[in-house]
């Protein structure tokens, strides 16, 4: 069974940094592109970016590429999202997804709240 | 960016109704469209990929159609377990983009 389990969310102050993790199981992690998607409290979905199966290439939403970095550790079957200089508009639930063309499996999500 | 214009924003339906949700892409996306269902408090679940292919275990009352710029998700016989928010997604070009969602409720 494919499982994606995110962690690392919480309450952070504007301007701070935060790193989310996603541990994958139930499939060969190193065979798949992976991505992060976020959903605002108003239910808007935004694709953040993805990373190639070997970690050699990444794509980002243009509005986020200067502050967010996606990486992976295939030995640990773990995907990461490094968020820097966070803003109130980054408040959202962050999902880790496996990509097969479009995202097919999603984690349960982790909440990030940016507030002073 | 490719804009996915989804309609309606919300609708009330009855059990047994035929429901149609539309997504229009701002440019040609081929058949690179997926549809997702998000029940309250849950993660999104993919229903349809490559515009018209049902994911494993998805009931056949869910049908996806379209190509190019116009796409449709049809629920042929609304069931009590189908209220949710439904989203379309294009993955033809980066960045991937979602529709704004359609909230389906039972009257």
Secondary structure, 3-state, chain A: CCEEEEECCEEECCCCCEEEEEEEECCCHHHCEEEEEEECCCCCEEEEEEECCCCCCEEECCCCCCCEEEEEEHHHCEEEEEECCCCHHHCEEEEEEEEECEEEEECCCEEEEECC
Give the per-residue pLDDT at A90: 98
pLDDT band at B58 (very low <50, low <70, confident <90, very high): very high
pLDDT tens, residue by residue, A15-67: 999 999 999 999 999 999 999 999 999 999 999 999 999 999 999 999 998 99
pLDDT at A101 over 90: no
Residue contacts between A and B (CB atoms, under 8 Å): 54
Residues from chain A contacting residue B49 (CB–CB below 8 Å): 100-102, 104
Nearest chain A alpha carbon to B100: A44
Look at B85 and A61 and tell me if their CB atoms are within 8 Å: no
Give the per-residue pLDDT at A68: 98
Beta-bridge mates of residue A100: A102
Look at A61 and B95 and tell me if their CB atoms are within 8 Å: yes
- Alpha-carbon separation of residue A90 from A49, A67, B33 (angstroms): 14, 11, 26
Residues from chain B contacting residue A49 (CB–CB below 8 Å): 95
pLDDT at B37 over 90: yes
Which helix (DSSP H) or strand (DSSP E) does residue B104 occupy?
Answer: strand B102-106
């Amino acid at each position: 069974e494919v499982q994606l389990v995110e962690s690392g969310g919480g309450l952070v102050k504007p301007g701070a940094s935060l790193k989310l993790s996603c541990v994958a199981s139930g499939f060969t992690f190193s065979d798949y592109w992976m991505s992060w998607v976020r959903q605002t409290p108003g239910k808007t979905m935004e694709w953040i970016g993805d990373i190639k199966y070997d970690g050699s290439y990444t794509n980002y939403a243009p509005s986020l590429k200067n502050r967010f970095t996606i990486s992976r550790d295939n030995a640990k079957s773990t995907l990461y999202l490094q968020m820097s200089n966070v803003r109130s508009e980054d408040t959202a639930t962050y999902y880790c997804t496996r990509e097969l063309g479009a995202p097919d499996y999603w984690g349960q999500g982790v909440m990030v709240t940016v507030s002073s | 960016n490719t804009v996915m214009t989804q309609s309606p924003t919300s609708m009330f339906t009855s059990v047994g109704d035929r429901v149609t949700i539309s997504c229009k892409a701002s440019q040609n996306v081929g058949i690179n469209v997926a549809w997702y269902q998000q029940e309250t408090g849950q993660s999104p679940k993919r229903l349809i990929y490559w515009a018209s292919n049902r994911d494993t275990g998805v009931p056949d009352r869910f049908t996806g159609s379209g190509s190019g710029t116009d796409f449709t998700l049809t629920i042929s016989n609304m069931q009590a377990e189908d209220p949710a928010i439904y989203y379309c997604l294009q993955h033809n070009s980066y960045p991937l983009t979602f529709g704004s969602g359609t909230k389906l409720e039972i009257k």
